[in-house]
Amino acid sequence: MLPSMTLIREFVGLWLLIVLFACHNQPNDMVSFNRDIRPIFNAKCLRCHGGVKANGDLSLLFEEDAFKPTQSGYPAIVPGKSQQSQLYKRLIQKDPELRMPLENPPLTEQEIKLIGRWIDQGAKWEKHWAYIKPAPEVQPPAHVKDTSHFIGNDIDLFVLQKLGEKGLSPNPKADPGTLKRRLFLDLTGLPPNQSELEKYFSAESPHSIEDLVDSLIASPHYGERWASMWLDLARYADTKGYEKDQNREIWRFRDYVIDAFNADKPFDQFSIEQLAGDLLPNPSEEQLIATAFHRNSMSNDEGGTDDEEFRIASVIERVSTTYEVWQSTTMACVQCHSHPYDPFRHEDFYRSMAYFNNAEDRDNYNENPKLATYYHENKEEAKSLIDWFYQNEPSELLPPRTGSLYDQRTALLDKLRFRSTEAENYSQSSPFIEIIWPDLDMLWQTQDSSWVKFEKVDLDQVEKIGFVAATELNYAGDISVHLDSLNGPEIGRTKITRTGHWNGWQGSKPSQKNLLREFKADIKQTSGQHDIYFRFWVGDTYIQHLFYLDKINYYEKNAPYLQLTQEGKNQLNKLFEIPTTNTPIIQELNTEHARKTFVFDRGSWLSPGEQVEEEIPNIFQENQEELPKNRLDFAHWLVSTDNPLSARVIVNRIWEQIFGRGLVETMEEFGTQGDLPSHPELLDWLADRLMYDYHWQLKPLVREIVLSGTYQQSSDIDSTKIELDPDNRWLSHGPRVRLSAEQIRDQMITISGLLNPSVGGPSVIIPDLKISDSQVPKWALTDPENYFRRSLYIFWKRTDPYANLITFDSPDRTVCTSRRIRTNTPLQALNLLNDETYLQASYALAKKMHFYKTYEAQIKEGYFLVTGQKASEQKLKSLKNLYEFATEKYQNQEIPEIIKEEIKDQSNQNELAALTLVANVLFNMDEFVVKK
């Protein structure tokens, strides 16, 4: 490399490098704070002089603290004068009681010299790179001669420059088959199926790589693939976590994410909707569902726990998650004390928490507030029922028709004073009430002296309250109704008696609806709204379970619905019965109930300190004209071009998904404890591109990345590359990484043709989960046609997730996960070899292979279906060898039952058994479990 060439390239990026690192092009004697000094402070000083401890009143974490007078009354650093700076003098002290770092080895001579020189040169402090906005208009380095075969677009110029610096050169382009499979897996998470193989993988295929990329990006499976990434961040699961780990109906959020990626909803909008969709003007159903992002935090139904404690725990978790997801900034430490290494103060955490502290939800069983929406398949029915009223009933009985279908339904029932409440829908209860698995949808399991509370019930016109209940006891007990407090005036009472008999252990829920009967209590005339308490009293005998309660109906004097025709009443009942999906969402408390936010001393909610208001961390406030005042402002700020991190962070996540490693390797941490970016200019260039050229749309960004020469390189490596670039940090070759847990299973069921490719809908219970019937939520899909849906639809139970996914390093989704650590274990081998479902997939693939005549052709076809490649002679030989060995063995031994059941002819049986074994081997090859 000619020196002049280097110089030109360096010059182009010069101003940027100065801003970012101020290191490359400085005269050699200039010390850089970020490059030279901060690492020493972090490693050797901050333990005692940082965010947790500031011994001697010296902290080297914040610029303003470092130059303040210390305990001695004088600042430790005197810029320009190392000999007068205590900081320096204490490093060279001979007396071990004075010499720093105390009770630790001294700094090296080199380190001491650097610190001395830094002070002498004026002790200039620098912000950490991540807190400086990406410079706008970053330019890619100039073209270098003879690299045109490699250059796909500007990304490659950045990569090439680094490769040159490291003495590396790019790999040749991957062969077409490999590249196409890579694209399928990266863009849709699925391998090509048989027809796609025919369309794109034959030598005569007229489709260019660009065509393929465009069609994959437009595929509905694109959204599923990228949703998998986002769901780890959103800690999405189908249960609430903690001890009870009850089910949670929140799958609509997953579908929202899939739809958003498919529609290429701009990332800023996507973010704002999830963080503050409820505060947007007239939010749509979709925007409200988006807020379920933060309803994925865990909640605790364990008996005897304090709801406020766990409400606060989830708000704290939401703050940490928000910073991790959008800022790759870990805030967990700041909960208890100022950040030990990064410029975040203890109060900063709670100021951010103030934005999130006014969400209405409060760790209740019922998870209110929730948004009811109709299932797609019921929308038509609901609409036609509502239509019926407007066509057939007098208009003075009916409310104006506005809002979503469910809003219209609610307005109609309200106006007609048809009032009924699901039994679970209460706000508080005594500890003796348990909710029956799995849905909390139906029943209380009540014991003597239990009670429940309903808030602000309008009793004005109420004459009777009906309790729809079931019991096997002759006289199960009484329900009494009390006003305003548990021991308040009794305004009604009824007796619950035997409704029938059903099978099962004492306490199982009644098997049929017709075992329920309504028991009505006369209600004393009461005016206005009141909190009411229902108390339950033991009857003539005592066992643990008294009765089950399904519903509570309120009967009003002269309720308008009584004036409906009989048909009208029937229609009303039908409308009431149409099932809905009820998704927990975020709703802001109105200002009169707004909560105050306090700094918690050492993170304990029991020790509130100073009260704080909504504010973003100090470090981000510079040059910020207006500070965000509420959650919506905060969300806007987070994805504004003023924010130094959001664009870089999402670019980094996408990069990591595609290359197996982020430009910043520590996905979760861009702070000083994280890794430095391998290609800082490229990261900033991509971030700028996303914000300014693509207006936060991710599809063009993904497209640009996969069309780069960098991406399209072959993943093969040689010994030089193993030495110089073992982790592919410098991108000297294409990605070769093990697929994610979901991709491995999805790939197997796609190739074998078992995949049910439907997109979206409720989560699926598969037999492998071994969830007992009594714990299956009624909204989940359980029919066999859904067993082979993509993995992201499998019911996710936090305390017991699908073992096959955990084995391949998926997290349990209790908290936000930025990065899955890939392991390589014998349990993974056993899983792919012996799992019954995977054997089924092997057999399905064997049947496809068996379509061909000779076993050579069958094996060739199998290998092609699995890899999109032609098998080499040597590999074919190994596989044929196995086939021959197996067919011989199977002449004298049992073949798998699944084959025997289906295939009657014996020679076919043996062939298929041998092919199943071959398919099983194909599904265990390294080239199958990795993307290369």
Q: What is the 3-state secondary structure (H, E, C) of 135-199?
A: CCCCCCCCCCCCCCCCCCCCHHHHHHHHHHHCCCCCCCECCHHHHHHHHHHHHHCCCCCHHHHHH
For the bound state, the minimum distance from the C-beta of residue 237 to other proteins, rounded and expressed in Å, comes to: 11
For the bound state, the minimum distance from the C-beta of residue 197 to other proteins, rounded and expressed in Å, comes to: 20
Q: 396 or 727: whose CB is closer to other proteins?
A: 727
Residue 587 as a binder of other proteins (CB under 8 A): the answer is no
**For residues 121-150, which are near other proteins according to CB under 8 A?**
none
Closest residue by Cα to residue 806 from 745, 878, 880 = 745
Residue 309 as a binder of other proteins (CB under 8 A): the answer is no
For the bound state, the minimum distance from the C-beta of residue 331 to other proteins, rounded and expressed in Å, comes to: 8
Residues 233 and 323 sit within 8 Å (Cβ to Cβ): no
Helix axes 826-834 and 836-849, enclosed angle (nearest 10): 50
- Contact with other proteins (CB under 8 A) among 198, 302, 309, 407: 302
For the bound state, the minimum distance from the C-beta of residue 300 to other proteins, rounded and expressed in Å, comes to: 8
Residues 912 and 903 sit within 8 Å (Cβ to Cβ): yes
Q: 458 or 927: whose CB is closer to other proteins?
A: 927
For the bound state, the minimum distance from the C-beta of residue 753 to other proteins, rounded and expressed in Å, comes to: 20
For the bound state, the minimum distance from the C-beta of residue 733 to other proteins, rounded and expressed in Å, comes to: 9
Q: 127 exposed, middle or buried (CB, 10 Å; 0-12, 13-18, 19+)?
A: middle
For the bound state, the minimum distance from the C-beta of residue 863 to other proteins, rounded and expressed in Å, comes to: 9
Residues 267 and 639 sit within 8 Å (Cβ to Cβ): yes
Q: 214 or 347: whose CB is closer to other proteins?
A: 347
The binding track of 175-214 with respect to other proteins, each residue x by CB under 8 A or -, is ----------------------------------------
For 260, phi and psi rounded to 5 degrees? -65, -45
Residue 872 as a binder of other proteins (CB under 8 A): the answer is yes
Sign, CA torsion 94/97/102/104? positive
**For residues 530-559, which are near other proteins according to CB under 8 A?**
542, 544
- Contact with other proteins (CB under 8 A) among 272, 416, 459, 839: 839
Paired tokens of 676: 């430095």
Q: Provide the 3-class DSSP secondary structure of residue 619.
A: helix
How many residues make contact with other proteins (CB under 8 A)? 88
The binding track of 433-472 with respect to other proteins, each residue x by CB under 8 A or -, is ----------------------------------------
Stretch that binds other proteins, among 219-227, 377-385, 786-794, 913-921 (CB under 8 A): 913-921
- Complete DSSP assignment for 798-822: TTS--HHHHHTT---SSS--S-PPP
**For residues 805-824, which are near other proteins according to CB under 8 A?**
806-807, 809, 812, 814-815, 821, 823-824
479 DSSP β-pair partners: 494, 536
- Contact with other proteins (CB under 8 A) among 799, 847, 864, 869: 799
**For residues 319-378, which are near other proteins according to CB under 8 A?**
320, 324, 329-333
Residue 754 as a binder of other proteins (CB under 8 A): the answer is no
Unique residue bearing structure tokens 């066999």: 784
Q: 449 or 529: whose CB is closer to other proteins?
A: 449
Q: Would you state the torsion angle of the CA atoms of residues 686, 321, 735, 704, taken in this order, to the nearest 10 degrees?
A: -30
For the bound state, the minimum distance from the C-beta of residue 716 to other proteins, rounded and expressed in Å, comes to: 5
For the bound state, the minimum distance from the C-beta of residue 929 to other proteins, rounded and expressed in Å, comes to: 8
Paired tokens of 681: 């200019």
Q: 2 or 606: whose CB is closer to other proteins?
A: 606
490 DSSP β-pair partners: 482
d(C-alpha 858, C-alpha 627), whole Å = 66
d(C-alpha 442, C-alpha 371), whole Å = 18
Residue 772 as a binder of other proteins (CB under 8 A): the answer is no
d(C-alpha 736, C-alpha 738), whole Å = 7
**For residues 665-704, which are near other proteins according to CB under 8 A?**
665-666, 668-669, 671, 673, 675
Closest residue by Cα to residue 761 from 373, 255, 257, 370 = 255
Q: 633 or 800: whose CB is closer to other proteins?
A: 800
For the bound state, the minimum distance from the C-beta of residue 835 to other proteins, rounded and expressed in Å, comes to: 5
E-strand stretches of 524-614: 529-538, 548-556, 580-584, 597-600, 608-612
- Identify residue 344 by its one-letter amino acid code: F
Pure H helices in 493-536: none
d(C-alpha 821, C-alpha 189), whole Å = 18
Q: What is the 3-state secondary structure (H, E, C) of 8-52?
A: HHHHHCHHHHHHHCCCCCCCCCCCCHHHHHHHHHHHHHCCCECCC
**For residues 229-268, which are near other proteins according to CB under 8 A?**
241-243, 245
Q: 165 exposed, middle or buried (CB, 10 Å; 0-12, 13-18, 19+)?
A: middle
Stretch that binds other proteins, among 150-158, 283-291, 408-416, 912-920 (CB under 8 A): 912-920
Q: 549 or 913: whose CB is closer to other proteins?
A: 913
- Complete DSSP assignment for 712-747: HB-----HHHHHH-TT-TT--S---EEPPHHHHHHH
- Contact with other proteins (CB under 8 A) among 60, 450, 921, 931: 921
- Identify residue 231 by its one-letter amino acid code: L
**For residues 269-298, which are near other proteins according to CB under 8 A?**
298
**For residues 213-232, which are near other proteins according to CB under 8 A?**
none
For the bound state, the minimum distance from the C-beta of residue 296 to other proteins, rounded and expressed in Å, comes to: 14
Residue 800 as a binder of other proteins (CB under 8 A): the answer is yes
Q: Residue 512, Cβ neighbours under 10 Å: how many?
A: 9
**For residues 885-904, which are near other proteins according to CB under 8 A?**
885-886, 889, 893-897, 899
49 DSSP β-pair partners: 54
**For residues 710-739, which are near other proteins according to CB under 8 A?**
715-719, 721-722, 726-727, 736, 738
Stretch that binds other proteins, among 21-29, 249-257, 643-651, 872-880 (CB under 8 A): 872-880
d(C-alpha 388, C-alpha 400), whole Å = 14
For 378, phi and psi rounded to 5 degrees? -100, -5
- Contact with other proteins (CB under 8 A) among 240, 370, 417, 932: 932
For the bound state, the minimum distance from the C-beta of residue 926 to other proteins, rounded and expressed in Å, comes to: 5
For 119, phi and psi rounded to 5 degrees? -65, -45
- Contact with other proteins (CB under 8 A) among 828, 841, 858, 865: 828
For the bound state, the minimum distance from the C-beta of residue 883 to other proteins, rounded and expressed in Å, comes to: 9
d(C-alpha 787, C-alpha 804), whole Å = 14
Q: 762 or 801: whose CB is closer to other proteins?
A: 801
- Total residue length of the chain: 932
The binding track of 641-670 with respect to other proteins, each residue x by CB under 8 A or -, is ------------------------xx-xx-
d(C-alpha 581, C-alpha 564), whole Å = 28
| DSSP-derived secondary structure letter, 83 | G
Q: 699 or 931: whose CB is closer to other proteins?
A: 931
For the bound state, the minimum distance from the C-beta of residue 303 to other proteins, rounded and expressed in Å, comes to: 7
For the bound state, the minimum distance from the C-beta of residue 302 to other proteins, rounded and expressed in Å, comes to: 6
Stretch that binds other proteins, among 410-418, 591-599, 612-620, 800-808 (CB under 8 A): 800-808
Q: 123 or 913: whose CB is closer to other proteins?
A: 913
Q: 594 or 829: whose CB is closer to other proteins?
A: 829
